Structure 1
């Protein structure tokens, strides 16, 4: 993203977030997010539909195009016939554009929303007799959602049709619609500089931005559906999912899939060069999520991005009801709930997913890890976020499972993360990178070296910066440094151990530490600058400095007592 694009997004984010909060200041974020994101979704599908419609209209009038409609063939009815042709569904679905019926199109919504509740609405389905109480802006939006779902089976049961029950007054919803209408999602310049962004890019960015803001507003609950973008970006840049099947068994709002698509787009030139042909940049995404509303957020997120997805028929518990039992993915990425206690069921006792041993019934960390490992393709790689305890705990068979994972050579890299990265927990976290192929895997056409019985440890606890008083973030340079270190180690190209940051370790060294995988044990402490002051001289200097501070403290205390005595407060 260049500077102009970044400035454009910064300005747009501030405008929309500030305006939306002004309109709905009293709403709980858990309710508010479905209102705003739902409207953004309708705006997106309608804009995409209209964009395709304008493209078709130009093609119908272009003699050089296959779709050309010669006016001579339609004497007296040309405009009507063109208008009818523009309503042919196949023209849209062939380009993977959602078919948007007339009652759900944004301009229809805008026109109807400006009318007072209870007025005679010029609604395309006005032949239906609707109760007077239903004629609100909330009903209009719900009706549009239902129409979009009805006409697009892929979106069945995905959209939130709860506007009429949201208890938001019609004028407020109408103002929110006007806000999105007045926003230029087709901008071609910003501050006098050209922009090369599509409406899909802009709306997708805003959708993701609002997800992050709602996660911050909701605190702990928000973290259940949103993984900080910097962490997702770090994992994606380390795994580099250029092509293949990508799976997230705890997908939340689908952040890993979005970042994977963004990564491919950003590196399209690189992939074309390495592959010797046009960059395919194609991934297929598979996911699962147990929370119904979060499942819908993810499906909408994919639809806005134009990403084809398979999330199963609906929300379901991944560990108890695996919706993709036969999937073997090239990349598996996830941020499952940390230290889940209430997850066990007796039917899981002899589950084939427990490759390294049955996980403890009191903690699901190693259940998630082994579920992901089970779903890896023979040359697949995976990454998951877990609480730091997973690297060292010996409770309830966890130590034996970790030992088996190391001895069977599934573990590739461990990354210790800094604190305060998450909106919903202060539990220290780490990233596990595992693979089924440490012998001769491939990264595009670059062959990775044989890494059997070797392990990389990265301690990133001191990296990043405080973006505010509460949350830490990674700068792009931090992500690049960690990812470059990982790739250099994998490929045997320019890697070196750095004290306090990274270390390449053999199996024997891990055995000496009883299979504990905490990076700090292996990378050591960063070299400190040599202290040239002799110990005796330093001790004398510091002692004198301390004595001076004690004297100054006593003097200040005496002055304070004197002033208080003059005010009538004695000691």
Structure 2
């Protein structure tokens, strides 16, 4: 997007977060995120619904021979009848489902919330199906009613949307949030007099993602469990290129990998002049999450993006309650908790997933890896974020499992990441890329058998603040292009300190340790062409000048101390 659009989104983020953060005095981040994200969800589905209504209205009135939606004015006795027919057609549910737009009942539409929330408590809102008056109990009840109506009309969301009445928030605070969201143009936004090309899905999706990140920061370690840095998710998705097929994340959090996959497919479709909506139909997403709250957030996230999903019947422990036992996915991506200790159960002792060795009971790293391999199709590819220790540890069978994975030629690429990337841990991390087929039989890639690519990205990125590091788009492109060039055998070459292609024999010589630095070496130092006598003279003069500056500064400080009464 251009700078104006980016500035618009930044200003919008700040405005909405400031309004939402006022709830912090009443609720902690773990709870008020449900209130805010619930309202964002309602605003989005309502805006998307209204956008579809506007496009349908144009279709109904467009006299075109190829337009199957056209509703002729001549078929009606009066203009009043025609207008009523148009209104009736706009309430036909199938028109929305065919465009992958959630059906929003009248009681859940944003205009209804905005109009009814300002009424006195006890006011009659509407009549129910039995003809009884429905009265306003509170603003939180009005919001909960809207969420319930959406669940009734969209079975995929049954039991997903979190009710907010339990948090007992003042009507005025909720009304303030509703007004703030209402005052913001999510459809056809204008910024500094310029009409932006952003759609409501772009804007609301961005806001939802921003809020997930902010809540992760506000909650610290607990919140960080479901938030992977956007740049790392983007890096993994662009390296794997999940254009079509089944995509699985066994530790999905709020569904960040699926969101990035959807964006990637849309961009690819535009480049190839395909219809993005049609292209997205070629991919199906499967996920699992143990935390019930996060499981619901992920479903809401998919609904906002218009992504069809299967997250199992319920939240559940990935190892003990696999929600997709028969799944064989084309792409598997995950960022599970690092070095997870409390995961083992004796029921897992002879599990079929431990094909390459039983993982240690006190660390789930290689349990996650083998679970993902178990669910990978014979030609599938996967990416897994793990702590750096996974590349070299030899304790409790980890070294033997890693050796088996290398001997079976499953590992394709190792990427070492910089520190300070994650909100919830300072543990250095790496990305493992594995595949079950490196033969290149599909014709899209070369034969890569008995070879592993090592990329050392520890020196990439920038400090976005005093605590967190991040990748730029150029950093992501550098790593991705290197990986794809190596896979295809076109334009790749080893670069000291950054990337190296290693054979099985080389890895064996390093005792099957996969630390990237062992293979890429150190970057070549820049050649120094300055003659030594000239360099020595220049540096001596520079040092003399710095000593003189230091003496002047010391003298000035002593003078100022004497002036304010301190005897030096």
With normalisation by structure 1, the TM-score equals 0.90
Work out whether residues 23 and 32 of structure 2, in 8 Å CA contact, stay in contact via their aligned partners in 1.
Answer: no
SS at match of 2:381: strand
- In structure 1, the partner of 2:94 is 90
Q: Give, in whole Å, the separation in 2 of the partners of 1:268 and 1:79.
A: 38
Question: Is 1:402 the counterpart of 2:402 in the alignment?
Answer: yes
Whether 1:491 and 2:488 are equivalent positions in the alignment is: yes
| SS of 1:50 mapped into structure 2 | helix
For 1:388 and 1:469, locate their aligned partners in 2 and report how far apart those are by CA, in whole Å.
23
In structure 1, what is the Cα distance between the partners aligned to 2:133 and 2:10? 46
| Contact kept? 2:93, 2:103, Cα under 8 Å | yes
1:462 CA displacement: 0.8
Matched residues in 1 for 2:532 and 2:279: separation? Answer: 62
Indicate how the Cα distance of structure 1 residues 569 and 14 shifts in structure 2: closer, same or farther if over 3 A, else same: closer
Partner of 2:31: 31
Does the 8 A contact of 1:103 with 1:125 survive in 2? no
Query: CA 1:8–1:550 in structure 2 vs 1: closer, same or farther (change >3 Å)?
Result: closer
The aligned counterpart of 2:477 is 480
Give 1:82 deviation, angstroms: 3.5
Is the contact made by 2:188 and 2:195 (CA closer than 8 Å) also made in structure 1?
A: no
- SS in structure 2 of the partner of residue 247 of structure 1: strand
Q: Secondary structure at the match of 2:221?
A: coil
User: Which runs of 5 or more structure 2 residues have no equivalent in the other structure?
Assistant: none
Please, which of 106, 113, 121 is the counterpart of residue 117 of structure 2? 113
Q: 1:403 to 1:61 in 2, by over 3 A?
A: same
- State whether structure 2 residue 172 is matched by structure 1 residue 168: no
CA distance in 1, matches of 2:560, 2:202: 66
Give the distance between the partners of 2:538 and 2:94, measured in 1 at CA. Answer: 84
1:511 is matched with which residue? 508
Superposed displacement of residue 91, structure 1: 2.6
Do the aligned residues in 2 keep the contact of 1:467 with 1:473 (CA within 8 Å)? yes
CA distance in 2, matches of 1:44, 1:74: 35
- Give yes or no for the alignment of 1:464 onto 2:461: yes
Q: CA separation in 2, counterparts of 1:528 and 1:557?
A: 37
Partner secondary structure for residue 358 of structure 2: coil
- Specify the alignment match of 2:230 in structure 1: 229
SS of 2:168 mapped into structure 1: coil
In 1, are the aligned partners of 2:124 and 2:133 still within 8 Å (CA)?
A: no
Instruction: Please give the alpha-carbon distance, in whole angstroms, between the structure 1 residues aligned to 2:400 and 2:132.
Output: 66
The aligned runs of 1:147-296 (5 Å cut-off) are 147-161=149-163, 163-187=164-188, 189-271=190-272, 282-296=282-296
Task: Tell me the SS of whatever aligns to 1:267.
Answer: helix
* RMSD, aligned CA: 3.1
Indicate conservation of the 8 Å contact 1:115/1:121, yes or no. Answer: no
What is the rounded CA distance, in whole Å, between the counterparts of 1:107 and 1:441 in structure 2? 56
Q: Kindly tell me: are residues 565 and 345 of structure 1, through their superposed partners in 2, closer, same or farther at Cα, counting changes over 3 Å? A: same
State how 1:119-138 maps to structure 2 within 5 Å: 119-125=122-128, 128=132, 135-138=137-140
- Give the whole-Å Cα distance in 2 for the aligned partners of 1:455 and 1:56: 53
Shift of 1:120: 1.1
Assess, with a 3 A threshold, how the Cα gap between structure 1 residues 164 and 512 changes in structure 2: closer, same or farther.
Answer: same
Counterpart of 1:347 in structure 2 is 347
Q: Per-residue CA shift, 1:396-448, capped at 9, x if unaligned?
A: 00000000001110000000000111000000000000000111154xxx621
Q: Give the stretch that moved more between structures: 389-398 or 191-200.
A: 191-200
Q: How does 1:57-76 map to 2 (within 5 A)?
A: 57-64=57-64, 65-75=67-77
The range that moved more, 81-90 or 227-236, is 81-90
How big is the shift at 1:183? 1.0
What displacement does 1:101 show?
1.6
The verdict on how the C-alpha distance between 1:128 and 1:252 changes in structure 2, with shifts beyond 3 A counting, is farther
Partners of 1:514 and 1:107 lie apart in 2 by: 65
1:369 aligns with 2:369: yes
**The residue matched to 1:296 in structure 2 has which SS?**
helix
Counterpart-to-counterpart distance in 2, 1:570 and 1:120: 77
Moved more, 59-68 or 135-144: 59-68
Aligned to 1:387: 387
Q: Tell me the CA shift for residue 209 of structure 1.
A: 1.4
Question: Do structure 1's residue 523 and structure 2's residue 520 form an aligned pair?
Answer: yes
Between Structure 1 and Structure 2, how many residues are aligned? 561
Distance 1:362 1:536 in 2: 60
1:530 deviates by: 3.7
Counterpart-to-counterpart distance in 1, 2:231 and 2:242: 16
Q: Distance in 1 between matches of 2:532 and 2:509?
A: 35
8 Å contact from structure 2 (residues 341, 363) kept in 1: yes
For the structure 1 residues 110 and 390, does the alpha-carbon distance in structure 2 shift closer, same or farther, using more than 3 Å as the test? same
Partners of 1:85 and 1:566 in 2: CA distance: 85
Candidates 108, 120, 133, aligned match of 1:104: 108
Distance 1:167 1:548 in 2: 67
- Give the Å deviation of 1:298: 0.5
Render the CA deviation track for 1:515-543: whole Å, top value 9, x for unaligned.
00000111111111345678899899989
How much has 1:34 moved relative to structure 2?
1.1
Distance 2:127 2:9 in 1: 36
CA contact (8 A) 2:265 2:279 kept: no
Distance 1:567 1:58, change over 3 A: closer
Contact 1:112 1:123 in 2 (8 A): no
Unaligned runs of 5+ in 1: none
With over 3 angstroms needed to count, the CA separation of the structure-2 counterparts of 1:540 and 1:11, relative to structure 1, is closer
* Pair 1:49–1:545, CA change in 2 (3 A): closer
Give how far 1:123 is off: 3.5
Give 1:548-567 correspondences, 5 Å limit.
Answer: none
Deviations 1:219-258 (A, max 9, x none): 2122111100000011011111111111111000001011
Q: Does 1:447 align with 2:444?
A: yes
Secondary structure class of the residue paired with 1:221: helix
